[in-house]
């Protein structure tokens, strides 16, 4: 028995074997349902292999059980970080939050900017891009320029 005939049950070789199979008269012997089965089998094997290899590269772990445990640990760490973020956000900016320095129940723009400065994130507060200023607002822009100059 040839090596190809022995390996024909492997996913990709099975598809190749079936696509080249001929009956006794030399005609191609194809059955649509069997071809679909071979394609699905080959595709499933290829996708599972690709996911396994990608997870191995990502986690550095080649044991599927360890890969699963690594994913679980990453998910738990992500959920913990998300809960901590929500808690701190509520403490700072929630109802009666710490950023509300004048205790009026609302965090004004100035209070929010002050909170961002205290967090060291003032560089993330970017000015409004020019694209947001419409050409119809020329008078308002001139008024703003004059207010800075008149100081």
Residues 123-132 have a mean pLDDT of 56
Residue 121 has pLDDT above 70, yes or no: yes
Q: What is the mean pLDDT of the chain?
A: 76
Q: Domain boundaries in the chain? A: 3-59, 64-129
Question: If pLDDT is split at 50, 70 and 90, which confidence band does 79 have?
Answer: very high
| Residue 37 to residue 31: CA distance in whole angstroms | 10
* Contacts of residue 60, Cβ cutoff 8 Å, sequence gap at least 6: none
Question: If pLDDT is split at 50, 70 and 90, which confidence band does 133 have?
Answer: very low
| Residue 128 to residue 126: CA distance in whole angstroms | 6
Question: If pLDDT is split at 50, 70 and 90, which confidence band does 33 have?
Answer: confident
Give counts: helices (H), strands (E), the chain.
Answer: 6, 0
Which residues on neighbouring strands pair with residue 128, listed in sequence order?
none
> What is this structure's pTM?
0.50
pLDDT per position as a tens digit, 17-30: 666 666 666 676 66
Q: Are 78 and 85 in contact (CB under 8 A)?
A: no
pLDDT of res. 102:
87
């Amino acid at each position: 028995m040839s090596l190809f005939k022995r390996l024909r049950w492997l996913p990709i070789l099975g598809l190749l074997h079936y696509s080249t199979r001929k009956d006794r008269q030399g005609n191609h012997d194809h059955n649509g349902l069997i071809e679909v089965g071979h394609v699905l089998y080959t595709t499933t094997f290829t996708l599972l292999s690709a996911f396994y290899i990608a997870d191995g590269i990502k986690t550095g772990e080649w044991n599927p059980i360890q890969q699963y445990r690594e994913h679980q640990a990453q998910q738990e760490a992500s959920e913990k970080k998300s809960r901590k973020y929500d808690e701190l956000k509520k403490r700072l900016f929630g109802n009666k939050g710490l950023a509300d320095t004048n205790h009026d129940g609302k965090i004004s723009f100035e209070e929010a900017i002050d909170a961002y400065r205290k967090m060291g994130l003032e560089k993330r507060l970017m000015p409004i891009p020019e694209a947001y200023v419409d050409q119809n607002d020329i008078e308002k822009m001139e008024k703003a320029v004059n207010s800075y100059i008149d100081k």
